[in-house]
Amino acid sequence: MGTAVGGGRAVPRYVQIADDIVQQIRAGVLKPGEMVPSESELVERYGVAGGTIRKAMVEVRASGLVETRHGKGSIVKDRPPVRHRSSDRFRRSHRQGGKAAYLAESAQSGATAKVSVLYIGPMEVPEDVAGRLGVEHSTQVLARRRLYFRNGTPVETASSYLPWDVVKDIPELFAENPGGGGIYARLEDHGHEFAEFVETLQARPATKAEASELALSPGAPVVHLVREALTTEGRVVEVCDTLMAADQFVFSYRIPATD
C-alpha cells in the first residue's frame, strides 16, 4: 500500500519511511559517521519499490541530518545543534568579559569555535541594507565578512555593514581581531551604547554556492537572519546579514508578557 491513514488523513508511505529513518538517527540507532542503509537494503526492509525509497531519502536529506557523498550514499552527520539564545547572547556582561556573541554561545554549548575573516574594507552599501542603515544606496560603508566554524565544521557566514562616519575613527574595526568583546564592545567604547538588537529570520533551501561554503548537501535548509543593532539614540550602527546551517542552531527567545 502507498499510504496509511492516521487521524483521518492519508500519510504517504515514503513519508512514513523518512520519518522512521530520521527517528533512528535522532535516537542514535544510526550514529554520526555511519552510512544510511543502501536503497536495495531499504527496499527489502520496508517492502516497497525503489522509487518510494528514493522519495523517502529526499525527505531525509531535507532534514539536514545526513549528507550525500557521490558514489557512496548518505552518511549521518556529526553536527549537534548549538542553542542560539537570543535573549542573552548580546548581554553587555559578555562583551565586558571579552566574549563576542558567537564565542559566548559556543562556549555555553561546550563547542570549540573558530572565526575566519574573509573580507574587511570599504564597499558600496547593498541596496537592501541601505534602507536599514538609513543611508543612500551609493554610500560607502565598512563591510566585515566572516565564516564561523564549530568543532572544525563551517556553520555560519556573516556580513556586517557599518556606517562610515561611525567607524572611520575606530581603527580596531578595520582589524581582523577587533579585540575582546568583538565589534560591539569597540562601538560601545566609543560612545555608541546599545539599546536593542532587532532580528528577522527566514528559513529556505541553500543555493548551490551557499551549500558549498557551509559544507551542506544541495538544497539543505538554512536560516537567513538579518540583525539591526540600535543605539540608545535610535540609530542603527550595524546591519548583520547572516546565513546559518539550520541543523546547527536552535533558537530560544524570551518574550516578556507585560508592556
The per-residue pLDDT for range 30-52, each reduced to its tens digit, is 988 899 999 999 999 999 999 99
Judge if 209 and 246 occupy the same domain: yes
The pLDDT of residue 1 is 45
Judge if 126 and 56 occupy the same domain: no
Closest CA to 148 of 198, 97, 180, 112: 112
Does 1 fall in a domain? Answer: no
pLDDT band at 69 (very low <50, low <70, confident <90, very high): confident
Judge if 88 and 134 occupy the same domain: yes
The pLDDT of residue 89 is 67
Range of the domain at 37: 13-76
Model pLDDT for residues 153-209, shown as the tens digit of each residue: 889 999 999 999 999 999 999 999 999 889 999 999 999 999 999 999 999 999 989
CB atoms within 10 A of CB 23: 11
Read off the pTM. Answer: 0.70
Judge if 25 and 126 occupy the same domain: no
Does 257 fall in a domain? Answer: no
Judge if 139 and 155 occupy the same domain: yes
Burial code of 240-252, b = ≥16 C-beta within 10 A, e = fewer?
Answer: bbbbbbbbbbeee
Kindly report the CATH number assigned to the domain that includes residue 44: 1.10.10.10
Tally the domains of the chain.
Answer: 2
Rounded CA separation 219/99 (Å): 33
- Residues 155, 244: contact at Cβ < 8 Å? yes
Judge if 68 and 100 occupy the same domain: no
Domain endpoint, select from 27, 49, 76? 76
Per cent of the chain over pLDDT 70 is 83
Judge if 246 and 158 occupy the same domain: yes
DSSP 81: P
Residue indicated by cell numbers 548518505? 74
